Amino acid sequence: MQRRDFLKLSAASALTAALPARRAHAADVIELPMYYPVAVGGPIAKIMDGYAAAFHKANPDVRIRPIYTGSYQDTTIKALTALRGGGSSAPKMAVALAVDIFTYYDQDVLVAADDLAKGDNAWLNAFYPAFLANSRMNDKTWSVPFQRSTPVLYWNKAAFKAAGLDPERAPSDWTEMQDYARRLSRTHNAKSITEWGIQIPSSGFPYWLFQGLAIENGQARLASVDGTRTYFDSAETVGALEYMVGLARKSKVMPAGIINWGTTPQDFFKGRCAMMWTTTGNLTNVRKHAPFPFGVGMLPKHKRYGAPTGGGNLYVFNNTTAEERTAALRFIRWVTAPEQAADWGMRTGYVATSPAAWNTDALKQYVSGFSQAAVARDQLQYAEPELSTHENQRVTKVFNDALEAALTGQKPSAAALHEAQSKADAILRRYRA
């Protein structure tokens, strides 16, 4: 079966056929505005519009209305602003970063998923534990895993072959990754490198990919479970940053300074870098645009394998009525059901969020013809929760600023991280018991 046939066999169609239609008059339709973190008109927006239409066809008494709100950060800011203002324009639901759980909780705007389910929580426990780790606090599940990811390593098999490397084998550890990158770097002259061995993006939210290095160096979490403490200046975190800085400044196998997140895939496609770290959410993009055979591997280990989870969860806000909450739960259970999660993963590159999704015939057949799709799933056994704290955007900015200061040579790694730890302590101290 060709890939296009898999996409036609969407869970939306399957579930629409399987579910009995619910009759409803227009006046009885419950409308649920849902903020969603993409720009209007993008490919994922079209998929989400299709899901909303398919759900409404199967459930005529409920209409999900996606409202496209830009970046994840924009989505949270806009949602909180609208919720404070009240009125009919405020969202009832949102897809927002899993790590924004403390931000929403502290603003007292959430309905816990456990409360929505009214004790029927078996379906929540069916998600991968690695994705639930950022969804729970204070013994409750506050959001539901949806478009989740981990970073993975992509490599250009043609470049590997040209450098005398096995094109079917990714570097397994830090030493090997640095050696591979050295052999893959190509110079035009002493001052001009035309192809970098590796790029680890560091713009926008540098903490996320860096966290992979920290985990691999033994710092499993960058923040405590309760979101009140950070570990920015631990020996393991400092060592990870020194390694990252060294790839550019000592080994000279990666561009110095800040590497742009958005343009790194283009550099990969155009042969400007032979390996890159980026989200598995880029998998469909890479498959569509890479003009060469490519591989996907787990992030190379050091003291251990490891990667942070990432991406967005489904949240329901407490400005909803009882009927709206029931309707919201119906949609959440529909859109995260195994068939639908499998369809979402195949069409976007995000990781299907439950083992049951990977056991669907559609996804099993898809992986049999495209094994790269299973790498992020296999890496989940080593994954750790993404950095998440109270006042998360303030704390992550402090940490991002420190990473950028070290990567651009403004400060030594240890000094930059010690300063970040002091600032994070000042922000979080009031949340400690």
Please report the DSSP string for 325-342 in residue order: HHHHHHHHHHHTSHHHHH
Q: What is the pLDDT of residue 4?
A: 36
Domain edges within the chain: 10-149+310-375, 151-309+385-431
Task: Supply the CATH classification number for the domain 10-149+310-375.
Answer: 3.40.190.10
Q: What is the pLDDT of residue 194?
A: 72
Q: Kindly report, residue by residue over 161-211, the tens digit of the pLDDT.
A: 999 999 999 999 999 999 999 999 986 544 556 799 999 999 988 999 999
Mean per-residue pLDDT for 121-141?
93
Above 80 in pLDDT, residue 13? Answer: no
Task: Supply the CATH classification number for the domain 151-309+385-431.
Answer: 3.40.190.10
In this structure, of 116-130, 290-304, 397-411, the range with the lowest mean pLDDT score is 116-130
Q: What proportion of the chain, given as a percentage, has pLDDT over 70?
A: 92
* DSSP labels, 131-182: HHTTTEETTEE-SEEEEEE-EEEEEEHHHHHHTTS-TT----BHHHHHHHHH
Q: What is the pLDDT of residue 169?
A: 97
More confident residue, 9 or 270: 270
Q: Kindly report, residue by residue over 325-368, the tens digit of the pLDDT.
A: 999 999 999 999 999 999 999 999 999 999 999 999 999 999 99
In this structure, of 45-54, 111-120, 253-262, 336-345, the range with the lowest mean pLDDT score is 111-120
- Report residue 118's pLDDT band, with 50, 70 and 90 as the boundaries: confident
Average pLDDT for the chain: 92
Residue 366 CB-half CA count within 13 A: 28
Mean per-residue pLDDT for 317-328?
97
Q: What is the pLDDT of residue 67?
A: 96
Q: What is the pLDDT of residue 52?
A: 98
Phi, psi dihedral angles at 65 (to 5 degrees): -115, 95
Q: What is the pLDDT of residue 163?
A: 96
Closest among 124, 123, 147 to 352, alpha carbons compared: 147
Mean per-residue pLDDT for 116-134?
92
Q: What is the pLDDT of residue 18?
A: 38
Q: Is 289 helix (H, G, I), strand (E, B) or coil?
A: helix
Mean per-residue pLDDT for 241-251?
97
Most confident region among 27-31, 43-47, 109-113, 137-141 by mean pLDDT: 109-113
More confident residue, 407 or 42: 407
- Indicate if 151-309+385-431 has the same CATH topology as 10-149+310-375: yes
Q: What is the pLDDT of residue 204?
A: 86
Q: What is the pLDDT of residue 24?
A: 44
In this structure, of 5-9, 79-83, 178-182, 372-376, the range with the lowest mean pLDDT score is 5-9
pTM: 0.90
Q: What is the pLDDT of residue 3?
A: 37
Are 106 and 85 in contact, with CB atoms under 8 Å apart?
no
Are 320 and 331 in contact, with CB atoms under 8 Å apart?
no
- Report residue 275's pLDDT band, with 50, 70 and 90 as the boundaries: very high
More confident residue, 377 or 28: 377
Query: If you search the block for the tokens 């909180």, which residue do you land on?
Result: 80
Are 101 and 42 in contact, with CB atoms under 8 Å apart?
no
Q: What share of the chain is helix, strand, coil (3-state, %, to 5)?
A: 50, 20, 35
Q: What is the pLDDT of residue 42?
A: 72
Above 50 in pLDDT, residue 1? Answer: no
Above 80 in pLDDT, residue 300? Answer: yes
Above 90 in pLDDT, residue 420? Answer: yes
Above 90 in pLDDT, residue 288? Answer: yes
Mean per-residue pLDDT for 360-385?
97
Phi, psi dihedral angles at 63 (to 5 degrees): -125, 120
Output the six-digit token pair for 254.
């990666």
Q: What is the pLDDT of residue 252?
A: 93
Residue 130 amino acid letter: A
Q: What is the pLDDT of residue 119?
A: 80
Q: What is the pLDDT of residue 192?
A: 55
